[in-house]
A = this chain, B = another copy of it.
Amino acid sequence: MRIKLTVSYDGTDFSGWQRQTDKTTVQQTIEDAIFSLTGEKVKVVGSGRTDAGVHALGQVAHFDTKSTIPPSNFAKALNTILPLSVKVLKSEEVAKSFDASRTAKRKTYCYSLYKSDVILPLKERYSVMIKKDTDVKIMKDVAKLFVGEHDFKSFCASGSSVKTTVRTVYSVEIKEEGEDVKVYITGNGFLYNMVRIIVGTLVECGQKRIDEKAIKTMLNEKRRNIGGRTLSAKGLCLVSVEY
């Protein structure tokens, strides 16, 4: 049977999702836990890779098993083996047609920022400091430009090889609460570093270093070297995946 897992992790100490030789990754940690539990060497397929340092509240993955463990019990059983930094929130049986990677329809990421003139040690693990005078209203206005189907080539790390750099962003929502500024982006898929570059560009707008016109140029000219800076992985979190 095929099992769907909803997984949360603190990505700080992981070299990303995807299995690598000699590095600790989330995928390998879960595969090893399944091996401890069932004795099976399975491949756990995630909705997509997350980079080193990126967190997840609701990453989705699937694997096939011949085990007789009731599907909903996998979560609890795996959690007794998994470290504190990775936990399975839910396990359920799905049809063989379900593929965590290929059938994913929408993903939501959240990028966490905090406005301050001093580094705040209790914010540093999961968010990135921006200047206190950053204009979040400007960021909200400019964010609308990214919504819709666009060629996001200017917002993709150079060197990545994908068939097309066209993606649809369904929404960019910015929530400000006290010193916290959270940017939620939902789309049908994201290019390598795309969220981190979009948010980096929004921050530069909020700091009045670039303007709306520059964003339009970036979206039209499709060259990576003209997009904003790539923000640190630690502020990024994969919130949910919809199928």
**With A89-B118, A118-B79: A10-B84 Cβ-Cβ less than 8 Å:** no
**Does A87 touch B at the CB level, under 8 Å?**
yes
B124, A84: Cβ atoms closer than 8 Å: yes
Q: Which of B55, B87, B89, B118 contacts A75 (CB 8 A)?
A: B118
Residues of B within 8 A of A55 (CB): 121-122
Q: Which of B86, B118, B122, B124 contacts A121 (CB 8 A)?
A: B86
Contact with B along A109-121 (1 / 0, CB 8 A): 0000000001111
The number of chain A residues with a CB under 8 A from chain B is 22
**Does A126 touch B at the CB level, under 8 Å?**
yes
Residue of B with least CB distance to A75:
B118
**Does A237 touch B at the CB level, under 8 Å?**
yes
Residues of B within 8 A of A125 (CB): 10, 125
CB distance from A84 to the nearest CB of B (A): 5
B85, A121: Cβ atoms closer than 8 Å: yes
**Does A18 touch B at the CB level, under 8 Å?**
no
8 Å CB contacts to B: which residues of A85-137?
85-89, 118-122, 124-126
Residue of B with least CB distance to A76:
B118
A9–B120 CA distance with the chains assembled, in angstroms: 8
CB distance from A78 to the nearest CB of B (A): 11
Residue of B with least CB distance to A12:
B125
Q: What is the interface of chain A, defined by CB distance below 8 A to chain B?
A: 8-10, 55, 57, 75, 79, 84-89, 118-122, 124-126, 237
27 sampled A-B residue pairs with Cβ under 8 A: A8-B121, A8-B122, A9-B121, A9-B122, A10-B121, A10-B122, A10-B124, A10-B125, A55-B121, A55-B122, A75-B118, A79-B118, A79-B119, A84-B119, A84-B124, A85-B121, A85-B124, A86-B121, A87-B118, A87-B119, A87-B120, A87-B121, A88-B118, A89-B118, A122-B126, A122-B237, A125-B125
